[in-house]
Structure 1
Amino acid sequence: MHHYGKGPLGPDVGTFARSFAAFGMGGPGPGVGPAGRARRGDIRPAVLRVLADQPMHGYQIIQEISARSGGTWNPSAGSVYPTLQLLADEGLVVAEETGGKRVFSLTAAGEAAVADLADEQAPWDVAAASPDLSGYAALRQAGGRLAAAVLQVGRSGDKNQIVSTIEILNAARKQVYTLLAQD
């Protein structure tokens, strides 16, 4: 059962997902930099290094960076695809249509750029080694898991399950605000 738009049960699932994205429940992983973001410029060497192993499409690049960082850095499509375009404009990567997807590979100039990065620590290693001193990583992960469960109810739940989920979420929100109000 799909619920699109605003109806008697409240905002659509997309609105819910965007609210979590605004809170930081997506994108680069925790502990990478201020507010869990990778340092500016880290996506470029990460993309080049990943493509040095094999040609990939954008989503594969995102997943590979996430895997190499142990899940602590999950770059967004909004950072990877513009980076790929810039690298293509600079002649470092080339895109080829394969199976309905744009697959990117390094050019000779791109391979030389990767060789220039050999002495630098890989960005995903920096991300994986960065401590999470605030507990923000666990909070983001818990929020992300909650969002996934709520989205599943929104996609396949019946009206009673949706209403019950709304009640659970409202109670949880009140508990969190009560926690924040404590000295």
Structure 2
Amino acid sequence: MRGGFGFPPFGPGFGPGFGPGGPHGGRGGRGGRGRRRPNVRAAVLALLVEGPMHGYEMIQELDSRTGGAWRPSPGSIYPTLQLLEDEGLVIGIADTTGGSRKQYALTEAGRPEAEQAAETPPWAELAPETIDSWQGIRDAGAQAMHALRHVMLNGTADQRDRALQVLDETRRKLYAILAETR
């Protein structure tokens, strides 16, 4: 590695999450193997066409619109908002309740790019089958955690040991699924 100290060299890509399309549209991170993550910049602009929002509201809205399949982190939303503000495309307005939160709104300069982004919003890239699959897996996982909680709170030592064995086996099987060739 040319970068030294274990860091990647500063060449094309700059490391995970900074692939073709930049830090907000590249590959890597939670997007899955080989799957491109939706474009955070375009998503933020498309949401702001609908009206002003706080950054956290944007995260919740994107999570909701994708059925949990895409929930951008604050570490991707807030730098994007800052960049858009620096470019003069959005403006941060202090919260009227006196809190430290900013509500972001489009400027006139930002409206054309935002309206273009809203024509085909990034969350529309996620196929309904992907969202349905994600919701099914998420719901099954939540139900399994609920059952595990009952075993841990109400089960005997033997039942807790057997639950641990089931979890270990499940973890191994899930990794085996990922190891299958496509």
Above 0.5 in TM-score?
A: yes
Deviation at 1:122, TM superposition (A): 1.4
Deviation at 1:62, TM superposition (A): 0.9
Tell which has more relative contact order, 1 or 2 (C-alpha 8 A, sep 6+): 1
Change (3 A) 1:173 1:69: closer
Question: Within 5 Å, which residues of 2 pair with 1:10-159?
Answer: 34=33, 38-39=37-38, 42-98=39-95, 99=97, 100=99, 101-117=101-117, 120-127=119-126, 129=127, 131-132=129-130, 137=134, 141=138, 145=142
| Cα separation, 1, equivalents of 2:135 and 2:53 | 30
Change (3 A) 1:33 1:126: farther
8 Å Cα contact 2:88-2:109 kept in structure 1:
yes
| Cα separation, 2, equivalents of 1:172 and 1:56 | 44
Change (3 A) 1:148 1:104: farther
The answer as to 2:164 corresponding to 1:170 is yes
Q: Residue type matched to 2:164 in 1? A: N
Q: Residue type matched to 1:104 in 2? A: Y
Deviation at 1:145, TM superposition (A): 2.3
| TM-score, with structure 1 as normaliser | 0.57
| Cα separation, 1, equivalents of 2:89 and 2:145 | 37
Deviations along 1:72-121, one digit per CA (max 9) or x if unpaired, are 32222221111111111111111122131211111111112213335x52
Matched residue of 1:95: which SS? strand
| Cα separation, 1, equivalents of 2:80 and 2:60 | 15
More helix by share: 1
Deviation at 1:69, TM superposition (A): 2.6
| Cα separation, 2, equivalents of 1:144 and 1:35 | 24
Change (3 A) 1:144 1:103: farther
| Cα separation, 2, equivalents of 1:103 and 1:147 | 38
Deviation at 1:125, TM superposition (A): 1.2
* CA-based RMSD: 3.9
Give aligned-pair identity as a percent.
Answer: 35
Query: Radius of gyration: which is bigger?
Result: 2
| Cα separation, 1, equivalents of 2:155 and 2:34 | 32
Number of aligned pairs? 140
| TM-score, with structure 2 as normaliser | 0.57
Matched residue of 2:110: which SS? helix
